[in-house]
């Protein structure tokens, strides 16, 4: 598909037909999609997301036999549109389309309802969610800590781990798992999004074929040093996401320059326990950050442990008692904020 679109900015009618044939049943007819460009939902480096409306039954629902997908009919949607027509932008969007095609549907992964070309640029149509996790946790800063719903936080983390377990079962490595890339619905259903950096069916992909712009502050040691990505590197990123959540949105490695992160990690140092994390939660983070990837847990194990915490009988009171005890025993995490870019150049000479 990428070679067809790249051939020229304005494909001929024959090319249009070829694109539709290659895209199979996930291609959306022009008249069925309305994009509200006056209602932007967000803008990234390579793409922008707008609110839209999809008429009729979504292509995903036609392809899937799952009952859960049948709700995607005559519904509001999010439309992710490439900002430029460079090779990099188009490749990222088609990489995302291919990953979403394989994943099809999971309640904790954002659903791709279909895709089409708009003004000669690829656009992906997703189910609509209300906000991203990073914005949500930053809003919690306005509350007293005892007003923050611990059970809701653990439920969100459990759902993310479940979604990542599903993604790993499809031999897909996300490579950009972070709070900014998890979406929340009104009823706090967590959905993993943004598969533009995903690697498909390659558990140890290395080398120059990989994008150099990667989220360095979420990368494992082997990903930085060897360009080695696997489920275990996504597990490392999940530990960083846990840090984001329990620090209420603090940037990872705040106050440390990007080029110093590798030496910091190789010396055995790790980020300090965030103020809202109990010892149990911090221990889970540190297990995700084991240098030896073989000793890191798999998502299956993280799902089980978070479920046990979620279903425990201790309730909120015991959590806050343990939290206060933890704060007496240890210093809290760093409080300075580093407004670094999420995607940074992964350069051997600078790390």
Domains and CATH numbers, the chain: 2-127 (3.30.200.20), 131-350 (1.10.510.10)
Instruction: Give tens-digit pLDDT for 82-112.
Output: 777 666 767 788 889 999 999 999 999 999 9
Token pair belonging to 157: 């983390």
pLDDT classification of 351: cutoffs 50, 70, 90: low
Q: How far apart are CA 64 and CA 96, in angstroms?
A: 19
pLDDT at position 11 over 80 = no
- Which one-letter DSSP state was computed for residue 114? E
Q: How far apart are CA 135 and CA 147, in angstroms?
A: 17
Task: Provide the percentage of residues in the chain whose pLDDT is more than 70.
Answer: 79
Is 176 assigned a catalytic role? yes
Q: How far apart are CA 22 and CA 157, in angstroms?
A: 37
Q: How far apart are CA 235 and CA 164, in angstroms?
A: 9
Q: How far apart are CA 282 and CA 207, in angstroms?
A: 33
Question: Which segment of 9-13, 215-219, 253-257, 283-287 scores lowest on mean pLDDT?
Answer: 9-13
Token pair 């030496």 in the structure block, residue: 263
- Residue 126, burial from CB neighbour count under 10 angstroms (0-12, 13-18, 19+): buried
Question: Which segment of 15-29, 109-123, 282-296 scores lowest on mean pLDDT?
Answer: 15-29
Catalytic, out of 106, 176, 234, 251: 176
Q: How far apart are CA 193 and CA 183, in angstroms?
A: 7
Task: Tell whether the torsion through CA atoms of 25, 160, 199 and 260 is positive or negative.
Answer: positive
Q: How far apart are CA 12 and CA 301, in angstroms?
A: 51
Residue 210's pLDDT is: 57
Instruction: Give tens-digit pLDDT for 330-344.
Output: 544 433 333 335 767
- Collapsed DSSP state (helix, strand, coil) of residue 222: helix
Instruction: Give tens-digit pLDDT for 140-173.
Output: 999 988 888 899 999 999 999 999 999 999 999 9
Q: pTM of the prediction?
A: 0.86
Token pair 């394989």 in the structure block, residue: 102
Enclosing H/E stretch for 282: helix 279-288
Residue 329's pLDDT is: 63
Instruction: Give tens-digit pLDDT for 268-285.
Output: 999 999 989 999 999 999
pLDDT at position 122 over 80 = yes
Q: How far apart are CA 61 and CA 348, in angstroms?
A: 45
- Residue 315, burial from CB neighbour count under 10 angstroms (0-12, 13-18, 19+): exposed
- Which one-letter DSSP state was computed for residue 38? E
């Amino acid at each position: 598909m990428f070679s067809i679109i790249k051939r020229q900015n304005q494909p001929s009618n024959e090319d249009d037909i070829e694109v539709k044939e290659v895209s199979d049943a996930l291609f959306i007819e022009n008249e069925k999609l309305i994009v509200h460009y006056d209602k932007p939902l967000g803008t990234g480096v390579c793409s922008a997301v707008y609110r839209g409306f999809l008429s009729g039954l979504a292509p995903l629902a036609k392809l899937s036999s799952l009952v859960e997908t049948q709700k995607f009919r005559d519904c509001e949607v999010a439309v992710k549109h490439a900002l430029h027509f460079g090779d990099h932008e188009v490749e990222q969007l088609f990489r995302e389309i291919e990953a979403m095609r394989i994943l099809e549907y999971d309640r904790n992964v954002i659903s791709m309802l279909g895709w089409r070309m708009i003004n000669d640029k690829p656009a992906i149509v997703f189910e609509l969610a209300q906000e991203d996790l990073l914005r949500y946790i930053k809003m919690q800063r306005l509350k007293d800590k005892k007003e923050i719903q611990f059970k809701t936080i653990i439920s969100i983390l459990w759902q993310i781990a479940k979604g990542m377990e599903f993604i790993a079962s499809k031999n897909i490595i996300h490579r950009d798992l972070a709070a900014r890339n998890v979406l929340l619905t009104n009823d706090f259903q967590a959905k993993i999004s943004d598969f533009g950096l995903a690697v498909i069916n390659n558990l140890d992909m290395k080398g120059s074929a990989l994008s150099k712009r990667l989220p360095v502050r979420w990368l494992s040691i082997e990903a930085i040093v060897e360009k080695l990505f696997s489920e275990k590197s996504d597990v490392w990123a999940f530990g960083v996401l846990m840090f984001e959540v329990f620090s209420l949105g603090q940037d990872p490695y705040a106050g440390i320059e990007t080029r110093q992160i590798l030496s910091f990690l190789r010396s055995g140092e790790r980020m300090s326990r965030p103020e809202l994390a109990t010892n149990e939660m911090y221990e889970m983070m540190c297990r995700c950050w084991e240098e030896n990837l073989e000793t890191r847990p798999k998502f299956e194990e993280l799902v089980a442990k978070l479920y046990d915490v979620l279903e425990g009988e201790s309730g909120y009171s015991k959590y806050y008692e343990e939290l206060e005890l933890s704060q007496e025993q240890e210093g809290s995490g760093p409080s300075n904020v580093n407004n670094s870019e999420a995607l940074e150049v992964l350069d051997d000479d600078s790390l």
